[in-house]
Amino acid sequence: MAITLKVPVKNPWAGLRGLPRTVWIVAATSLVNRAGMMALPFLVLYLTGHLGTSASLAGLAVSAYGLGVSVTGPIAGRLCDRFGPFTVMRASLVLTGVVLLVIPLAHRFAAVAVLTFVWGIVADSTRPATMSALTNATPAERRKAAIALNRLAVNLGMSIGPAIGGFLALVSFSVGGHRGPRPVWRRGDMGRCVRLRIDRGSGHRHDRRARRLGHAPRGRR
């Protein structure tokens, strides 16, 4: 005689129902922000490939970022208490974009290392601000679900960010028709929009050359 046991299957997403709109906004911000962290691994490629620094010095630059992250927690926490978590988050995102725009203008390793340290400070200020915003926006019994949603957004952003950065670097490490290096990681935080210009093959290049010579290819008149 066979005995069948019915085990109820719980919906893992059921706990996310009814979360405040603020929690979803914070989670979306964390997703985009962490996807923009693709800039950090590509900083090493930028230093070694465009500035000609050694791999050991490029590793020191990444260490400078980690040093900035380690000191920003207490500072950002005090700022959240004084100005509010959303003000700190907005300032962090804007200043991170500004720092990423300035780094390509520095052509010496010392300047890049200092800017990377500042980058770590301003970029990781969103972490305590995010936790403070989630805590203030949800009641005690819903904070576990709110924090889990935010962690899911962070992990998803960290997963897709490097993949997008690798694709951009494969197409062109210096996106844009500007003289000098304009690395793709420079666009990781501000605007969050990437415009690609991909050459569609030798046939299209031949068509453009034919138009300049005044001979349109067959079938395209």
Q: Which residues partner with 212 through β-bridges?
A: none
In a domain, 138, yes or no: yes
**What distance in Å separates the CA atoms of residue 176 and residue 221, rounded to the nearest whole number?**
30
Give domain status of residue 5, yes or no. no
Q: For residue 196, how many other CB atoms are within 10 A of its CB?
A: 10
Which domain, by its residues, includes 187? 19-194
Give CA–CA dist 97/74, Å, rounded.
22
How far apart CA 167 and CA 101 sit, in angstroms, is 21
pLDDT block averages, 10 residues each, the chain of length 221: 59 73 90 85 83 87 91 89 91 90 87 93 90 89 89 90 79 48 45 36 45 48 43
The pLDDT of residue 50 is: 79
- Residue 58 within a domain: yes
Answer yes or no: are the C-beta atoms of 126 and 89 closer than 8 Å: yes
> Quick check: is 42 in a domain?
yes
Domain CATH code at residue 108 = 1.20.1250.20
What pLDDT does 4 receive?
A: 61
Q: Distance (Å, rounded) from C-alpha 153 to C-alpha 92?
A: 18
Rounded Cα–Cα distance for residues 194 and 4 (Å): 55
Cβ(121)–Cβ(76) below 8 Å = no
Q: By the 8 A CB rule, do 32 and 192 touch?
A: yes
Instruction: Look up the pTM and report it.
Output: 0.68
Position 198 scores a pLDDT of 36
What was the pLDDT predicted at 6? Answer: 60
Number of Cβ atoms within 10 Å of the Cβ of 62: 17
Q: Which long-range contacts (CB under 8 A, 24 or more apart) does 179-185 make?
A: 181/46, 181/50, 181/104, 182/104, 183/42, 183/46, 183/50, 183/104, 184/42, 185/38, 185/39, 185/40, 185/42, 185/43, 185/46, 185/100
Does 46 map to a domain?
A: yes
**How many beta carbons lie within 10 A of that of residue 132, not counting itself?**
19
Is residue 204 domain-resident? no
Identify residue 44 by its one-letter amino acid code. Answer: V
pLDDT at 179: 39
Kindly state whether residue 94 falls inside one of the protein's structural domains.
yes
Question: How many separate domains does the chain show?
Answer: 1
Q: What is the pLDDT of residue 201?
A: 43
Q: What pLDDT does residue 63 have?
A: 92
The answer to whether residue 12 sits within a structural domain is: no
